[in-house]
Structures are given as structure tokens and as C-alpha cells.
Structure 1
Amino acid sequence: MATDMLFAPNGLAYRLDGPYDGDWIVLFNSSGTDHRMRDDVVPYLTQAGYRVRRYDMCGQGLTALAVSCIPMGDLTHDIGDRLEHLGIGRAHCLVCHLAG
């Protein structure tokens, strides 16, 4: 069901929760926060049968601000690459404002 933090090849830290066969939801946190921003909602989503992916953007939480991190403008490409890396063909996205 839940995992510890995992690390993508480019260094982004992410976490997976919920049943392995559930529909996917990707949770985006705002800048200045990390994946824990959504801690309160994850139990409801997993109980409803969703598989949840959340991550720490570059310089947030467990993801270091490093050369391997991508610019904010390329964030959508990175998310697509990560979904593909995990074998996720389709996902719901829950987004909040990233600019503060």
C-alpha cells in the first residue's frame, strides 16, 4: 500500500500510496512545500481505491536543489517522463497554484 520515499533517476523524491491496481492520481504541491502538504487527503483517496503519487519538487523536501533538477518550465515533461517510467498510461491530476 504505502511506500517510503523513492528517488527517480534525476533525483526527484516521490512517494506512492494506495492499492497497486487502483486508478492513478498525481498530487502536485505548491512551491515552498513538500509531498506532506497532501497528508490529510491521501487516506481518503486510498480508501476510495486510488493509487496516489506525490513528490517533492527540486529544492523542496527530500529533493535537493541540484544540477540534475529540471527548470520549472519543464515540469510537465518531467511528470510525463515519471509516469511513463512507472508504467502509468493515464492519471488524474490534483494541482494547486505553484507560484505562491
Structure 2
Amino acid sequence: MEKAQIKRPLYKRSWFHTFLAFIVSQLYINFVEITGYGPNMRSIDGTFLENIVGLELFQRYFSFYETPWYNLFTVFFGVVTIIHVTTGIIKDIRNG
């Protein structure tokens, strides 16, 4: 006899944890941006990251917040989250 394959619940899957962490970090960044209660980060002026933030493509499409650091965090973690969630869902579909 074959054992019935028990499916893991959605909240126990690693890609769901990654997605949830991204959502929580965005809520935190929104809260900090709206209230002004945030870490006192050094200026981005004169660094390599300023060149990235200053690109027209980045200014036009990836300017979610007024603080450039938060835009960089959002884009970086968004890409990592999309890659992890996509590969996790594909593995779940492939494994049944």
C-alpha cells in the first residue's frame, strides 16, 4: 500500500516565510517613512549607490519612497523575494 502524501500547510513553506518577511519589511518602511521615526542613516551622496539611485530608470520606475536607502532596500529585497517565491512555487508544483 502506498502512503498518502501529506501536504504541508501554506504557512510552513519557506517561500511563504520569505514573502511574509518582505510584506512586514514594507509595512515597517512605510511606517518609518510616514512618521519620520527611523534610523539615522548616513547620506548616500558621493557613493556608488548614489549613481544607481540617480539613474533615470531608477528614478522613474523604482522611486517608491522619498528616502533613497528605502528604495534600494525595496528593489533589492523585492528581487530576492520574487526569485525565491517563484522557485519555491515551481518546486511545490513539481513535487505534487
TM-score bracket, shorter-length normalisation: under 0.3
Bigger relative contact order (CA 8 A; separation at least 6): 2
Larger Rg: 2
More helix by share: 2
